[in-house]
Chain A
Amino acid sequence: LAKTTQPISMDSYEGQEVNITCSHNNIATNDYITWYQQFPSQGPRFIIQGYKTKVTNEVASLFIPADRKSSTLSLPRVSLSDTAVYYCLVGDIRVFNTNAGKSTFGDGTTLTVKP
């Protein structure tokens, strides 16, 4: 199972771009990379998911190099409300995979956005 490593914490200021990198050296061929945001006493909330190269949606971008051993979540122009814990999740939750559901969360990166 892919183990993930993220920085424990990051600080930023409102309006800046924030990049959070996750290392997952033993990612498997069928694994996807998913990033979640979690506020205190709430469940994780989906941000973005990718398999390779670059994915962009309305809130973030995800960069995955060719070897897929790391990924970078990019949050453009953060605001105070982006202060949260960010998790990268590597795995294949599809039920047709014999290891279905055995996705691995890291310990997350606590992002603090300052005014």
Chain B
Amino acid sequence: ETGVTQSPTHLIKTRGQQVTLRCSSQSGHNTVSWYQQALGQGPQFIFQYYREEENGRGNFPPRFSGLQFPNYSSELNVNALELDDSALYLCASSYPGLAGGETQYFGPGTRLLVL
């Protein structure tokens, strides 16, 4: 167990709708990253939040947005859903350090299906 939880586990939406996915990080981990994983592919970085501010973003359009809260929880919001948004959405928490690498702890993911 990584201590990272996500909700819901599965979700079905229709094209054009909006969705909010939630993540609860490990206590003390003030950095959270979100990834999209299409079937048969590796996770693709969406963005990272540190101390409630966006700290880095991958190649995703603005309709993908996020929020991070002081209680180590976070949200991924996707507007105007498209069929290609169907994927497993993963959040990963970590604690930043000045030296050395960092380990990301992944949640189990939310499986989103857009019809």
Residues of chain B lying within 8 A (CB to CB) of residue A50: 101
> Which of A94, A104, A108 meets B102, CB within 8 Å?
A94
B79 to chain A, nearest CB (A): 21
Residues of chain B lying within 8 A (CB to CB) of residue A32: 101-102
Taken residue by residue from 59 to 103, chain B's Cβ proximity to chain A (1 for < 8 Å, 0 otherwise) reads as 000000000000000000000000000001010101011100111
Interface extent on B, as a size class? 35 or more
Residues of chain A lying within 8 A (CB to CB) of residue B45: 101-105
Residue A42 lies at the interface, judged by CB distance under 8 Å to chain B: yes
Q: B44, B56, B105 — which one has the most chain A CB atoms within 10 A of its CB? A: B56
Q: Is the CB of A34 within 8 A of B106?
A: no
A43→B106 CA distance, assembly (Å): 5
A49→B94 CA distance, assembly (Å): 14
Q: Is the CB of A87 within 8 A of B42?
A: yes
Determine the residue in chain A with the shortest Cβ distance to B99. A94
A47 to chain B, nearest CB (A): 10
Residue A45 lies at the interface, judged by CB distance under 8 Å to chain B: yes
Residues of chain A lying within 8 A (CB to CB) of residue B50: 95, 100
> Which of B35, B42, B56, B106 meets A45, CB within 8 Å?
B106
Q: Is the CB of B103 within 8 A of A101?
A: no
Q: A94, A100, A107 — which one has the most chain B CB atoms within 10 A of its CB? A: A94
> Which of B43, B90, B97 meets A94, CB within 8 Å?
B97
| Interface residues in chain A, defined as those with a beta carbon under 8 Å from any beta carbon in chain B | 32, 34, 36, 41-46, 49-51, 87, 92-96, 98-108
What are 5 of the A-B contact pairs (CB < 8 Å)?
A43-B106, A44-B92, A93-B31, A102-B45, A107-B42
The 4 closest A-B pairs by CB, nearest first: A101-B48, A43-B106, A105-B42, A32-B101
